[in-house]
Chain A
Amino acid sequence: MKKLIIDNQEYKSRLILGTGKYKDFEETGKAVEASGCEMVTVAIRRLNIGQDKDSPSLLDVVSPEKFTILPNTAGCYTSEDAVRTCELASELLSGKMLVKLEVLSDSKTLYPNVVETLKASEILVKKGFKVMVYTTDDPVVAKELEKIGCECIMPLGSAIGSGLGIINEFNIREIVENADVPIIVDAGVGTASDACIAMELGCDGVLMNTAIACAKNPILMASAMKHAIEAGSKAYEAGRIEKTLRGVASSPKDGMITDD
């Protein structure tokens, strides 16, 4: 299996975990641990001024010393807002330049705004950011983002939080086959088989949040995702059989007791 290298660091785990929507930090920490992930995403928001000074912060639970923290630009609808958010995130994380760029088109579909995403990618790459970019499953756009210099392309499986899985396997396969940078499916995973399919298609990893955080048992689902990703990854490497329209016997035809 090809190594997964992002911003000069090798990752053994192919799962990137979002930290939103958990019941509390304790559950977040347990899910992160059960998933075996090495990278987690965080959102950048105004500080809740007036909160207890000694109440824990998310980064006390998922420590930057132990995990790669991937700040996102979730909620941004323009390239300007996304770039501003990335710059704040970098200051927050002591100058780290790895970011997840996500520029959305509207709050109803949460579909990526490709025009603004391309614009923001160019600006961020020029500023020296290592951009992991959330985008549509359009192979042409994916290649354009790669040409701009993005570190990693992250096409959607389906809409954010929808749980619809990978809607267009052909596009994801096309993106993977044309890529010279890691391809990570981001968004749409509903259950373990969706993550497994992403890996069977040859993706380098899967990023998910809702499928785990909103499962009835998030910690168990985190573990299921870990195994599904490992299984899919091994299956891709092993190479699946060709599909045939009719049955092909597994047992020998000769030597049957009914042979005369």
Chain B
Amino acid sequence: MAASPLKTALSQSAKPIHPVWVRLCHWLNALAAILMVLSGWRIYDASPVFKGFVIPPAITLGGWLGGALQWHFAAMWLLFFNGLIYLGLNLATGRLFRKFFPLSPRAVWRDLRLALIGKLHHDDLSHYNALQKIAYLTVIIDLVVLVLSGLAIWKSVQFPLLRELMGGYDNARIVHFCAMALLVGFFVVHVVMVALVPRSLLTMIRGR
């Protein structure tokens, strides 16, 4: 029996651009990261690392330091375990290498130039251009740095190796802040890009 059109359609829809675990992890990570950043801002304000630079309390989460700490140390579990599952499945399925590699500085440079003159197209959503690859890989590594520097701050006595890796307790706070700033920067660019290619939002929701 020849493959029916229905069967072909089914097998196509069964192979979404983003598998369901990628979509789930993406949105759970987005939720966790937003909660972590907003509550983190409130914690930062209790004793600013950079004197004179304060985040407006109205855009923070938690209301006071104690509330913000509760949010931060609750959302961290979601961020941590969701991140572990995401990285684990990415490695196990080979998606990490399939989607993000090969990646060369030359390709990044080429796509950056094309993007700046408005000629970088993103018609095939199943394929990442070099700028996407470097951006997504950077934010994955940035999230790992955020978790490690956060652990060094939270448990500076229990994790001496991590503490020294971060350059001591006080320096871990600077690393944590800078990694947060990079994450927020990614978030802004990411949202602008999604606004430019709205179809990519649908893909991350429905898979196609």
Say whether A and B bind each other: no
